[in-house]
Amino acid sequence: MQVLVTYDVSTETPEGRRRLRKVAQECLNFGQRVQKSVFECSVSEMQFEKLRSRLLQQIKEEEDSLRIYRLPEPKERFVQTWGVDHYVDFEGPLVS
Q: What is the mean pLDDT of residues 70-82?
A: 80
> Tell me, what's the pLDDT at 88?
66
- What is the CATH code of the structural domain delimited by 2-73? 3.30.70.240
Contact present, 22 and 9 (Cβ < 8 Å): no
> Tell me, what's the pLDDT at 66?
97
- The residue type found at 36 is K
Domain layout of the chain by residue ranges:
2-73
Dihedral sign, Cα of residue 70, residue 8, residue 66, residue 42: positive
Q: Over the stretch 1-22, which tens digit does the pLDDT of each residue have?
A: 999 999 999 999 999 999 999 9
Alpha carbon distance 30, 48 (integer Å): 9
